[in-house]
Amino acid sequence: MLQALADGILTGSIIALGAIGLTLTMGILRFANFAHAEMITWGAYMALGAMAIMGPFMAPLGALSFGLPLIIAMVIAAGLTSVLALMIDYLVFRPLHGRPNDMTIVFSSFGVSLLVRMVVLLIFGGSAQYYSNTLQIAVPLAPGLRVLPDQIFVLGVTIVSVVSLHFFLQRTRLGLAMRALAENPTLARVNGIDTRVVIRWTWVIGASLASVAGVLYGLTVQLRPEIGFHLLLPLFAAVIIGGVGNVFGAVVGGLIVGLAESLSVFVIPPSYKLAVPFIILLIVLYVRPTGIFGSTHNAGAK
């Protein structure tokens, strides 16, 4: 039970990181971006590529399975994922934005997601890959609870990312502009905010967090071109549970989805695990369609 809780928190924190980026872009750009999950795949593989270029492995840091190159690769991957997101925005989403039919842009994001996944498949191949082959010894934290040092690292990175994002949104002018844009784009422009600049930064932040989530997923599970695709629906579930546009909601939503998945094995056969986020999603949509932390205001702003 304790072990399932820990596993749930771990999966949940990775989902949360991906969901934050998705909720930010959905809140500000006002469309469901299905390509967001592929940012996770792209980021994970860019880090793999960066590590391959950096050459032979350096000694692992402490009890972790990886060394400094992975951390450097994570930063490089965040940069490369941001570049990809900005390119997609420039080539695909921006020309379609503001069209009378909102579904055009949503479907184009499906197309983009397929394209990105296939490019990853083409470059890196379809078999599972790992950042490191170093074997790790699980540390017993409590009776019946063992965690890998890497898993503690994952949790640490998630906490640092969430806390820094919170301070960025609350304390900086750009963060304030992002919150303003999410509520009312026209009024934001009237206030003198250049919304194009804010949108660009939103892509950079969302893509960077997705890329970090990808690396963390690759670190704790494995790298496959489908990781983004498999996370897509849990991400959307987390965003909707937390309320679109709500960063804190996305974190809680991610944890709920992660925990529900891992705890469900006590109640239903493990093969049904993937259906759990949907059951929660259905319940939330039925009881409180704006999400747990969503305001009625955001719901009105499609």
Which one among 97, 166, 189, 288 touches another protein, defined by CB under 8 A?
189
Judged by CB under 8 A, the chain residues 201 through 230 that form the site for another protein are: none
In angstroms, the CA 225 to CA 271 distance is: 21
4 touches another protein by CB under 8 A: no
| Per-residue H/E/C for 192-255 | CCCHHHHHHHHHHHHHHHHHHHHHHHHHHCCECCCHHHHHHHHHHHHHHHHCCCCHHHHHHHHH
Judged by CB under 8 A, the chain residues 282 through 301 that form the site for another protein are: 295, 297
CB of 209 to another protein, least distance (A): 22
**Which range of residues in 1-9, 36-44, 169-177, 250-258 is near another protein by CB under 8 A?**
169-177
In 3-state terms, what secondary structure has residue 161? helix
Q: Are 91 and 79 in contact (CB under 8 A)?
A: no
**Which range of residues in 61-69, 152-160, 175-183, 284-292 is near another protein by CB under 8 A?**
175-183
In angstroms, the CA 163 to CA 268 distance is: 35
302 touches another protein by CB under 8 A: no
199 touches another protein by CB under 8 A: no
102 touches another protein by CB under 8 A: no
**Which range of residues in 60-68, 87-95, 186-194, 285-293 is near another protein by CB under 8 A?**
186-194
Which one among 16, 24, 88, 188 touches another protein, defined by CB under 8 A?
188
Supply the DSSP string of 110-144, one letter for each residue.
HHHHHHHHHHHHHHH-SS-B-S-----PPEEEETT
**Taking the CB of residue 167, how many other CB atoms lie within 10 A of it?**
10
Give the chain's end-to-end CA distance (angstroms, integer). 40
99 touches another protein by CB under 8 A: no
Q: Which residues bind another protein (CB under 8 A)?
A: 173, 176-177, 179-180, 183-184, 186-195, 295, 297
